[in-house]
Amino acid sequence: MIVAAFLFGLLIGSFLNVCIHRWPIDESILRPARSYCPSCKRQIAWYDNVPLLSYVLLRGRCRACGASISWRYPLVELLNGLLYAGLAATQGLTPEAAKAALFCSMILALIFTDFEHYILPDELTWGGLAIGLALSLVVAVPPSLSSLFWLITESTPSPRLGSLAESALGAAVFGGLLWAMREAYYRIRGVDGLGLGDVKMAAMMGSFWGVGPTLLILLLGSLGGSLIGTAIIVLGGKKWSHELPFGSYLGAAALIVTLWGDRLFNLYWQSVGAGA
């Protein structure tokens, strides 16, 4: 089952590469249906388009023109395969695992479009937000901040309404928070520090997991981003105003929390318990 999940993940990863290449340059992901070489524009035969394997056999070059193929292609396929295998191993073939797999694939695409083009495509941010809200009706989003609302209003929602409310609240809280951070940064520094794409991406993540896990993602992403960003600026001699792909850090944190969020929460509570 884990091997099957890995292979399915490779295939979806291959499709993600098409999205990562085409969405930032406003090309359709459906037409042309067949992949083509970005350099010579010739169609790629199916046997040269097998995930991972073709890259190795062709030694990272186009068969027709010899142009080198970006290492991003096998990397995205491999990462997506590993994510699916990891989810199947820990959660089995459940609706929860399927939702997490879909989320991870969208996040992978966001990480790489942000890293390569500084773009977070609306297809993934707005589209992901809509999917997150819709899926909350099928797979329950565990209550966190929304339970406070029900407590205050002394009402008991149906499980479905409770889940949708947490999802919507997650989107509103984190979309709002990043929008406020973006405004504050602009007022103080006079330049954009956070893109509108980051705001939409935070709302999308909130809609999938609700307030609790998304807070963890944001904390991890900001911490990792500032540590690595500072290192790049110091070691690479770049200016402080250099725009860093915050979405990439946020995405990496989202993958970690999706796979190991429960364990991180347990570790946190244990350390709090040990300290008390």
Q: Which residues bind Zn ion (CB under 5 A)?
A: 37, 39-40, 62, 64-65, 67
- State in angstroms the smallest separation of the CB of 47 from Zn ion: 15
- State in angstroms the smallest separation of the CB of 119 from Zn ion: 24
- State in angstroms the smallest separation of the CB of 53 from Zn ion: 18
CB closer to Zn ion, 65 vs 232: 65
CB closer to Zn ion, 65 vs 148: 65
For residue 159, give the 3-state DSSP assignment: helix
Is-contact 133 170, C-beta < 8 A?
no
CA atoms of 60 and 72, how far apart (whole Å): 11
CB closer to Zn ion, 18 vs 203: 18
26 backbone φψ class: left, alpha, beta (φ>0; ψ -120 to 50): left
CA atoms of 260 and 141, how far apart (whole Å): 17
CB closer to Zn ion, 39 vs 91: 39
- State in angstroms the smallest separation of the CB of 19 from Zn ion: 20
CA atoms of 29 and 175, how far apart (whole Å): 27
Is-contact 174 202, C-beta < 8 A?
yes
